[in-house]
Amino acid sequence: MRQLPPSSNPSYGFTNSPFGECCIAFSNDGICALTFPESRESAYADLDHRFPETDFKQNDDKAARLAKQVFDKGEKPTLNPIGTDFQLSVWHAMQRIPAGQTTTYALIAEAIGRPKAVRAVGTAIGANPIAFLIPCHRVIRTDGGLGGFRWGLDCKKQMLEWEKRKF
């Protein structure tokens, strides 16, 4: 079961981002989730689904500090993604995509040595728990279409445009 030990001080908070309100979940081991939910209720449900045995404490101040570090200063805090070995390999490959650039699902599949696993790569990308910092928004279809995005295509477009301006 995906769980963060109580000793790791699992917390979450809501804060503003350039793409609307976000929810950041973190522990002493790093950020384990960054989402752009439609509502706070959906954020709670997502955390409960991802980490059913974890008792998170709310800490909006720390979430705001993390967001400032990411979106204002361009720093990359420590990440603690929790997933299968395959998912982790896909998420690691996505972190090598430079800001302001895109790649395809097929190229990610090749990068992890699984060129025929394009659909599985797409599924792993869709399960990415740490939006923006594990930049699933930078992955597009081979035909140049944006493909899907859990937080909506408008959010994906905003992220890509923001990165192109900033970087």
Listed residue (3, 39, 9, 1) closest to 26, CA to CA? 9
Instruction: Please answer whether residues 112 and 121 qualify as being in contact, where contact means their C-beta atoms are separated by less than 8 angstroms.
Output: yes
Handedness of CA 71, 74, 79, 82 (dihedral sign): positive
In the beta sheet, which residues pair with residue 25? 12, 33
Q: Is 55 exposed, middle or buried (0-12, 13-18, 19+ CB in 10 A)?
A: exposed
Q: Kindly state the helix (H) or strand (E) to which residue 165 belongs, with its residue range.
A: helix 153-166
* Residues catalogued as catalytic: 136
